[in-house]
Amino acid sequence: MTKIDTFIKGILDILPLMIPVVPFGIIYGVIGVEIGFSPMEVFAMSFVIFAGSSQIAFAQLFAAGASPLVMISSVAVINSRHILYGAVLAEYLGKLRLTWKIILSYLMADQAFSVSSAYFKKNVKNKNVHFHMLGSGLTLWSLWQLSTLIGIVLGNIVPAQLGLEFAIPLTFFSLILSELRKLDHLIIILISGICSVLTYNFPFKIYIIFSAIFSLAISIMINKKFK
Amino acid sequence: MIWTWIFIAGIITFLTRYSMIALIKPNTLNETTKKALTYVPSAVFPAIIFPAVFLDKQGDFIYILSPQILAFFVAVIVGYLSKNVIFTIASGLISFWIFSYVLH
């Protein structure tokens, strides 16, 4: 396959996964504005951070008066899953030039990882596999920026009485739908959730990181025990 | 000041994505670490979901038959059965609006 063909394949492969991404971006834009960020700040987060769930958490913690250290470390914990993506992709991207590594790392969001790592595995002989991730990543990136912009515009129109803030827990819940049927995940979900409501009033809004690390520690113990 | 934190958050996010690709010898993560990283969404997102559903702004538990708790359970049922992201968010939001209207 040529570079262009592979690039287009990347775009086509990721398109079905964009159906939930667009409303997610719009919700993020609306909520960012409603929380009190300037449109430029809301947009800058999509551009600079480019990781939806951590952007919402970052904005929410800022609005709740969390300390910057807590905001930053919450982003780090939420995005630590990318380390795993990097470990999987390193096999295919490790040989590329530095510029390629930087661009594809910046574009390494969940959906791009998901479709392109699957493609890499199936097309080991194709020397241009990285063009697939460029296609999937750029598609995701463009739609994320566009939907953020739509959200920012709507955020100035939609009345606050609609209670769109409730879309935050709904959106995060929708991100773990596929884990609900796995018992080990379900246990961790419940432990983390219960822990978070009990530690909500701990200083510095530390409850997210605290609950995450606490339930991760339990998950490791559960895994050791049942191996 | 917020701009500084946005950029730091951006750099940290980039490093989570770049770190493993930058390594000369790939795949240096041990199995326990790999397994733990697959649990990250299940460990982090509930800590954002639960307080937003069950607590008020002061951190006190809200009444169990509040619109948002009822609507959340609708979303959980729809999400579990349909596994569809859009249906889940839409069912939660719409039932939240209906419960808010009916219960007030």
| Count of the separate structural domains present in chain A | 2
Of A124, A139, A165, the position where a domain reaches its end is A165
Q: 70-99 in A: which are within 8 Å (CB) of B?
A: 71-72, 75-87, 89-91, 93-94
Give yes or no: residues A221 and A184 share one domain: yes
User: How far is it, in rounded angstroms, from Cα A151 to Cα A167?
Assistant: 13
Domain that holds residue A25: 3-165
Contacts of A106 in chain B (CB under 8 A): 14, 17
Is A136 among the domain residues?
A: yes
Give yes or no: residues A8 and A55 share one domain: yes
User: How far is it, in rounded angstroms, from Cα A108 to Cα A117?
Assistant: 10
Give yes or no: residues A223 and A140 share one domain: no
User: How far is it, in rounded angstroms, from Cα A212 to Cα A214?
Assistant: 5
Write the ipTM.
0.92
In angstroms, the first-to-last Cα distance of chain A is: 43
Give yes or no: residues A201 and A93 share one domain: no
Task: Give yes or no for A12 touching B (CB within 8 A).
Answer: no
Chain B contact probe: residue of A73, A158, A170 with most B CBs at under 10 A: A170
- The pLDDT score that the predictor gives to residue B27 is 62
- The pLDDT score that the predictor gives to residue B33 is 86
Is A160 among the domain residues?
A: yes
Digit-coded pLDDT (tens) for A160-209: 778 888 999 999 999 999 999 999 999 999 999 999 999 999 988 899 99
Are the CB atoms for A46 and A25 separated by under 8 Å? yes
Give yes or no: residues A218 and A136 share one domain: no
* HSE-up of residue A74 (Cα within 13 Å, Cβ side): 30
Digit-coded pLDDT (tens) for A103-135: 999 999 999 999 999 999 999 888 899 999 999
Give yes or no: residues A45 and A122 share one domain: yes
Is A26 among the domain residues?
A: yes
Is A122 among the domain residues?
A: yes
Give yes or no: residues A117 and A221 share one domain: no
Give yes or no: residues A207 and A95 share one domain: no
User: How far is it, in rounded angstroms, from Cα A207 to Cα A154?
Assistant: 31
Digit-coded pLDDT (tens) for A134-150: 999 999 999 999 999 99
> Quick check: B86 pLDDT over 70?
yes
Contacts of B77 in chain A (CB under 8 A): none
Is A113 among the domain residues?
A: yes
Give yes or no: residues A145 and A180 share one domain: no
